[in-house]
Amino acid sequence: MSKTSAGFANILLGINTSRRATVLLHVAFWAALYCLYFYQSRWFTGDEHPRSTVLIALSKWGVIAGAFYATMYVLHRAYSPLLKLLLVATAWCLTIVSYDLVSYYLYNYINDTVPKLPTYFHNIVKGISVKGPWTFLYDRNAFYLHFLQLNIGLFIPVIIKLGRWAARSRIKAIALEKDNLKLELEFLRAQINPHFLFNTLNSVYSLIEDKDKTAAFIIVSLSDMMRYALYDAATTEVDVAKELAFIQNYIEIQQIRHRRRLEVELEIAPDLGPQRIPPLLLINFVENAVKHGVDKLRHDAWVRIRAYRDELGTFCFAVANARPVQAGADVREGIGTRNTRRRLDLLYPGAYSLQTSHTATQFDILLRLWPPHNG
């Protein structure tokens, strides 16, 4: 497949990364829909009344475009499924009412002010005005006419959007399955018998326990970390306390490694409460703080880590670290953070935020996971 055809396919599926292409696609679609309504309206009003044709086409086009983007706004928000359903239903009911009222007043205005309109147009106005502005609520034929006209335009973009969402979800699922198979293969290649590993670590600990307390402490911490990585990380979710204990062991080993050069502050809120997260989700941020900050500083290296809940009950995990001044202003997102962000997109769509910021001497990252909605 050529780059051009692949790029066009990505645009149609909604997985392109070009905002310009997305905007052009939307403009092209709404221009085509306006042309459809223009030619339909000209059939109502005839060839001799272009101003009336444009007014009718614009009224239909504007109401439908507004309803579409209002629907998409609701669907993209981190609301519960029930709330989304109620909001979308409300938006569509308001759209029907708006469309009917706009049609009533506009059609009657044209009928009263424009001479020599086709007989068919007069019949339409009479049909939608038998009982005043709210005829569509009492007359089945009037309601059906408006409902059909509205949904010819509204269903097309909504169905296209939902189809693109389904295609993107399938592509993401295939990519995730592929990554999982790759990770599983790599794990099998690198796997050694866990019992042999832990028995060996215990043997080493017994040999050095009385001779080197620091080395013995490292062995215990390393054993705890590997036990978590081998056993707990095989599950879908773990309690955040286990992940934080893993991070604490990692920090203790790094402090021993860097001796007095590294200062670490780990603050875990006492009211953190239960929180289930995917295993090994948070450690990436701490590893990056050490790798890109501490390892490149000779003096005054520091890392501050906080796990807490904000006033809305949102779980927050913040990491700040010193960074060398000569690193410059350009801070690019590493592959570890990109993979974590992708993992969050798949596991918490619309229910998390991951913010990064930096100054000349400091880098900050903040992860927020929204509390689950009831209902």
Q: What is the pLDDT of residue 114?
A: 82
Q: What is the pLDDT of residue 1?
A: 47
Q: What is the pLDDT of residue 18?
A: 65
Paired sense of beta strands 301-309 and 315-322, if any: antiparallel
To the nearest 10°, report the CA torsion of 307, 285, 222, 209.
-70
- The pair phi, psi for residue 262, each rounded to 5°, is -115, 130
Say how far apart CA 117 and CA 94 lie, in whole Å.
30
Q: What is the pLDDT of residue 309?
A: 92
- The Cα angle at residue 35 between residues 32 and 36, in degrees rounded to 5: 90
What are the tokens at 366? 């903040």
Q: What is the pLDDT of residue 199?
A: 58
Say how far apart CA 97 and CA 107 lie, in whole Å.
15
Per-residue pLDDT of the chain (375 residues; tens, 9 = 90+): 445 554 545 555 555 556 777 788 778 888 888 888 888 788 778 778 888 888 888 888 888 888 888 877 877 777 787 887 888 888 878 888 888 888 888 888 888 888 888 877 787 777 778 778 787 777 777 777 777 777 666 777 777 777 777 777 777 778 777 777 777 666 655 555 555 555 566 666 666 666 677 777 777 777 777 777 776 666 778 888 888 988 888 888 887 777 767 788 899 998 888 888 888 889 888 888 887 776 677 677 889 999 999 888 899 999 998 887 765 555 566 667 787 888 888 888 888 999 988 888 888 999 999 876 543
Q: What is the pLDDT of residue 304?
A: 93
3-state secondary structure 69-133: HHHHHHHHCCCCHHHHHHHHHHHHHHHHHHHHHHHHHHHHHHHHHCCCCCHHHHHHHHHHCCCHH
Q: What is the pLDDT of residue 317?
A: 95
Q: What is the pLDDT of residue 367?
A: 94
The enclosing H or E element of 180 equals: helix 140-190
